[in-house]
Structure 1
Amino acid sequence: MMIKIKSSMGLEVIGTSDRIFEHIDEHEIFVGIGDNNTRQRIYESLETVGAHIPVLVHPSAVIGDQVNIGKGTVVMAGAVINCCTNIGKGCIINTGSTIDHDNCIEDYVHISPGVHLAGSVRIGHGSWLGIGSVVSNGVNIAKECKVGAGSVVIKDIIESGVYIGTPAKRLR
């Protein structure tokens, strides 16, 4: 049995995802999917056909001067992004996370709730930082990395993989 949802969180539901391309000329379309690879695949297919993909910023987020945020990125409640930071397209900057000055967050990165990035940090394309993880000043994290919940990254991660612990070490 198919359930027809007419609204969600006070917003009208106009159709299912299999009908998304019918609406690209009428509405902005935001890809709200947590998985980085799936989000990227759908975002790129929408971008190819000219969909307008907005940036969403919660009103309680704090955004400093000279911060660039790419299309399709969401900044959730209580997040803080300080000056001179660049955030790529299709990213998730989740609840209560902090990104200090002069950071570079590449495309399709997921910064989980309560993550803290010090200054001059670079996070590579498609990486995922788990809830409550911390990245020290000047550290670079390679593309396609997963950093486990509560992990502390104190030196560069130069190889894609899964990293956990304090200090973070490669699991696989």
Structure 2
Amino acid sequence: MKNIIIFGLGGFAEIVYMYFKQNPSFNVVAFTANESAIKENDLFGLPVVPFENIETVYPPTKFQMFIAIGYSNMNKKRARVFDEAKSKGYELTSYIHSSTIINDGFVMGENCFIFENNVLQPYVTLGNNVVIWTGNVISHHTVIKDHCFIISHVAIAGNVVVEPFCFLGINSTVRNRITIARECVIGAGAVILENTKEKEVYVSRSTTKLDITSDMLKNL
């Protein structure tokens, strides 16, 4: 069993805690955050310890950590805390939900979190600090590099490379053999058929609104 400290006090940290709690391989012992962000001394009945001196209370020789920070600032806040935790000597644990399908050749770094019902085909590689939400398909030989965040129902074809600090929104699609450049945002429903350039933002058009009201529809 891994004894875990969760960095974070927000919604993502609360979600992560529930998943760890449901898995007997993990034992969450405390939460941590920067001292200036701490408003209460406990969360879910567990102590909240300032990150500035966390290693004196829960030494990295006995405890692991998970950085539960979302995609704010293009994942850079999560990356910064990742580096700070590593500099303190912590191993950063990763989590894969039992319903996710993992195939041969899968490689994953530290501080990754993979939610329910994902399909990761053979020879998929995840870097460090990658979050993959629910119900995605990541096809064979795809590489997702450090500090990326993938929301639900994303379809990534084979031999794709996603460079660091990218965000892929719900129901987005990436064609095979595409490279998503560093710090790109692929918005909800976007379809990527060509390589992107660094820091580009892609959005799909919103669904058309008709100039009628719902009570004008027949047979509905």
Tell me the TM-score range normalised by the shorter chain: 0.7 to 0.9
Deviations 1:53-97 (A, max 9, x none): 111111111111101011111111111111011110000011111
Counterpart pick for 1:33 among 55, 63, 69: 69
In terms of Rg, which structure is larger? 2
Matched, 1:85 2:119: no
Q: TM-score normalised to the size of structure 2?
A: 0.68
Counterpart pick for 1:52 among 77, 91, 104: 91
For 1:4 and 1:48, the matched residues in 2 are separated by: 25
Structure 2: runs of 5 or more not aligned: 1-38, 206-220
Greater per-residue helix proportion: 2
Matched, 1:144 2:183: yes
Counterpart pick for 1:73 among 112, 130, 140: 112
For 1:16 and 1:78, the matched residues in 2 are separated by: 35
Secondary structure of 1:20's partner?
helix
For 1:63 and 1:45, the matched residues in 2 are separated by: 30
Q: Evaluate the alpha carbon distance shift between residue 127 and residue 13 of structure 1 in structure 2; reply closer, same or farther with a 3 A threshold.
A: same
Residue in 1 that maps onto 2:55: 21
Residue in 1 that maps onto 2:81: 42
Q: Evaluate the alpha carbon distance shift between residue 21 and residue 163 of structure 1 in structure 2; reply closer, same or farther with a 3 A threshold.
A: farther
Counterpart pick for 1:122 among 161, 177, 189: 161
Secondary structure of 2:82's partner?
helix
Residue in 2 that maps onto 1:169: none
Secondary structure of 2:85's partner?
helix
Secondary structure of 1:40's partner?
helix
Work out whether residues 65 and 91 of structure 2, in 8 Å CA contact, stay in contact via their aligned partners in 1. Answer: yes
